[in-house]
Amino acid sequence: MPGESSWLGAYIAQLDGSGNAVHDQNVEGVRLAGSETCAWLKFWAKAPATRPLVLPLSFDHDGTTAWLACADSHLLANEMCEELTAHVGLAYTDFTPVGRVAIPHDALTQIAVDRFKWVYRFEGRGGRENEPVWSMLGIYRTSLESRPERYRLAPQTFGSIKLRFERAIAAGDERQAYRLLEELKGTGRLNAQNERFLEIHLLAGLGRWSPMVAGETKLLALRDLNLPRQTLGEAVEALYVHFLARHENDADLAAATATFNEYVRPRFAWLFRARKSITRPAVLKAFALNELSRERPDQELLTTLRAELEHSDESSLPQWFPNLQAGVKTSDSLYEANTAFEDAEYERAMTFFKRAPVSQDVLQRILECAAEIATVEAAREALDALGRYPAAMQDALGPRYTKKIARFHKSLDSAQSLVDEGAIADWSGWARAVKAGLPSLDASRLATQKAEEWRLSDYSSNPEAVAAFMAEVEDYEETVLRTYVRSIPAILDFFREGTGVPEVQRLYQTLLTLILLEGNDGLEELDSVQRITATLLESGIPAADYRGLVDDMQELLARVGSPRYMNWVFDIVELFALFPRPDKEAPLRLFFALQQIASQYRHRLRVDQWRGLELLAQDFDQLPAVRELLAEQGEEGERGEGDFAHLANKSVAIYTLTESAGQRAIQILKSLVPLCRLELNSDYVATTRLKQLAANSDVFVFAWRSSKHQAYFAIKDARGSRPNLLLPEGKGSASILKVLSEVAV
């Protein structure tokens, strides 16, 4: 039982003590408890995350007097309580589902509470009346063993289908994307215009720009609709790519504007009524040509567009963009404002009206423009402009305009209430605030803060709250994806003790999808991927989800396979080697991906990485596949201790709750540095042995991504001012070995 030996060993040792006290008086009773306990442990070990466990707690001269019933998820605990009530309570015991043991009064209960999320204590009626309890518990266990494994399929919510739709688009899987689009339509959640928006999004995501423009039917179907930012951006980008991109490397501005005036303005001028703060490079260039193709282009508008283009990481300025210091004329504000207003170019009109001389007509036009643009930003601009007008002009506005002003205030108040930090009471509220415009840095800071303040029990005992948060996250917009991904570490910290709840596992799968969609493969994102992957594998997932996880990791390994992330690649593949494999063949793809990366960068591999590759080949029974590569490394000369020579005759202690990873790191180190004294500790609590290791070791590795907070503080206190307390980036053996190779002893 990888990862379970620490708490189980402590429990059995403590149990032996209490059992020996009555062994001579009742040999048969203690023997029965031992055999039944072994049977329960064997049953539970096959699927710890999805099976209950019953353990003996105390004995007297007649045998077992009390038991503990343990479960790792709220749903499993509820089922266990119902079954135990039927089998042993109240006829044989005092069992009632009164709740989790909150204040343990003995060492055995403390050990169980530290390991399991739900623990129930129950007692027999005493004397020989306790003998049937083990029999009934055996019947309960046998009935569980005889049942087929059940996989609770998550309901296909609109958000989950939408997320899969986005994944299919990102992967370029056109067939799957169209199939999921039909599923979305079949939910009944989409009206006709939303269906059009998603069709445009699908074509844009697949890079099918010409089909969007050809025949004009796709775009013209949007003409009378209030387009969301994403759809507007995709439609304008389609026009730019189809008609205008060919002029990008040409300094001939006249040719670019002629193309715009011939093919774009006559049929698609309505798409340029308002940019709605979109910063896609293609959209900025298209709006720049929209301005430059006029008889009197405005320098201030062009300056703004140029600045946003230069700020973009994705695009450089086109060759045709003029030098704005060389005579691009600023327009007459009132004339241009009225012209733009008549042409329904409301954003441009509003810009000029705000510059125009103060008048009642200008004020009314500003309010009308803001109402047509219909964004929170436009409402804010209109109210700011209103504040600069004399009170007499404001009072002279008729009911038509005062109603618009009231709507602007309501829009701002509503937006503000969503992002008011004091009003954000849970994770769903936080997700809504992000979508309502909470700045990215504020959102990340707030997530970190609330992860420490909010209570996990509000979610572990209420799966509906987790599902509500997941639905908010799944129904994201492109503009907030980065904010969500940036905040994922805080979300993982909050839910780390609640992963036995099925809804939390599905939340983790959603968070992984967001990281892959966002595509920013930095260290922080990769660390989150590793934490999510380890949690899902530890929790146990169905074969279909397991294969999907392998697919995700294969995609990611193809993106990040490089010397910089070599340790991360080793750690990820190691996870699939160490945990049970519902599909034996699927993880081989990850091993072969690692083999390819290692072969490509063989000149950069450390000696411990070569040894790690050999061990993984043995794990996956693929040693012949890497024998030639390993032999080639051997021919180049044995490096012996290599990067670890400084650890000879030193004592090294490794603390990690991922015990298998620690054992592998020690196995590799022993083969490289036989004279290094090595110790591994995986105690869940601050034991005396752990404190002694921290105080006396020359080097102490604390795998903080796989640890308990109380263990960290105990280690820190015990170590005092001693140096060489190492914190690896990841929780696998490669990350542990990397920090050991770099430490100065």
Q: What's the pLDDT score for residue 370? A: 92
pLDDT digit string (tens) for 10-50? 888 777 765 444 444 444 545 656 788 888 988 988 888 78
Q: Which of 520, 555, 589 is the last residue of a domain?
A: 520
Is position 118 within any domain? yes
pLDDT digit string (tens) for 606-628? 888 888 899 999 999 998 888 88
CA distance 442 to 423: 14
Q: What's the pLDDT score for residue 403? A: 93
Q: Cβ(63)–Cβ(108) under 8 Å?
A: no
Nearest CA to 68 among 31, 113, 34? Answer: 113
Residue 81 pLDDT > 70, yes or no? yes
Residue 142's alpha-carbon distances to 42, 53, 69, 135, 537, in angstroms, are 12, 13, 16, 10, 26
CA distance 211 to 186: 24
CA distance 665 to 736: 7
Residue 538 pLDDT > 90, yes or no? no
pLDDT digit string (tens) for 90-147? 667 777 665 445 456 678 888 888 888 788 888 876 666 667 888 888 888 988 888 7
Q: Which of 601, 631, 661 is the last residue of a domain?
A: 631
Q: What's the pLDDT score for residue 152? A: 46
Is position 368 within any domain? yes
CA distance 205 to 176: 13
Residue 491 pLDDT > 70, yes or no? yes
Average pLDDT of span 59-85: 77
Average pLDDT of span 468-489: 87
pLDDT digit string (tens) for 545-569? 899 899 999 989 988 888 888 989 9
Q: What's the pLDDT score for residue 22? A: 42
Is position 286 within any domain? no
Q: How many domains does the chain have?
A: 5
From the CB of residue 701, how many other CB atoms can be counted at a distance below 10 Å?
25
Residues 133 and 87 in one domain: yes
Q: Which of 91, 114, 146 is the last residue of a domain?
A: 146
Residues 18 and 141 in one domain: yes
**Percent of the chain residues topping a pLDDT of 90:** 24
Residues 401 and 454 in one domain: no
Q: What is the strand order of the sheet 118-123 is part of?
A: 53-60, 63-71, 118-123
Q: Which domain does 454 fall in, by range? A: 431-520
Please report the sign of the dihedral spanned by the C-alpha atoms of residue 162, residue 167, residue 168, residue 169.
positive
Is position 329 within any domain? no
pLDDT band, residue 727 (cuts 50/70/90)? confident
Is position 247 within any domain? no
Average pLDDT of span 724-742: 85
Residues 681 and 588 in one domain: no
Residue 637 pLDDT > 50, yes or no? no
Is position 279 within any domain? no
Residues 625 and 660 in one domain: no
Is position 159 within any domain? no
Token reading at 173: 């899987």
Q: Cβ(656)–Cβ(703) under 8 Å?
A: yes
Residues 477 and 546 in one domain: no
End-to-end CA distance of the chain: 35
Of 53-67, 515-529, 677-691, the least confident: 53-67
Q: How many helices (H) and strands (E) does the chain have?
A: 37, 7
Residues 455 and 548 in one domain: no
Residues 580 and 490 in one domain: no
Mean pLDDT, all residues of the chain: 83
Residues 22 and 122 in one domain: yes
Please report the sign of the dihedral spanned by the C-alpha atoms of residue 337, residue 339, residue 341, residue 343.
negative
Is position 289 within any domain? no
Q: What's the pLDDT score for residue 276? A: 82
Residues 735 and 621 in one domain: no
pLDDT digit string (tens) for 350-386? 989 998 888 999 999 999 999 988 888 889 999 999 9
Residues 452 and 393 in one domain: no
The model's pTM: 0.62
Residues 646 and 625 in one domain: no
Q: What's the pLDDT score for residue 251? A: 80
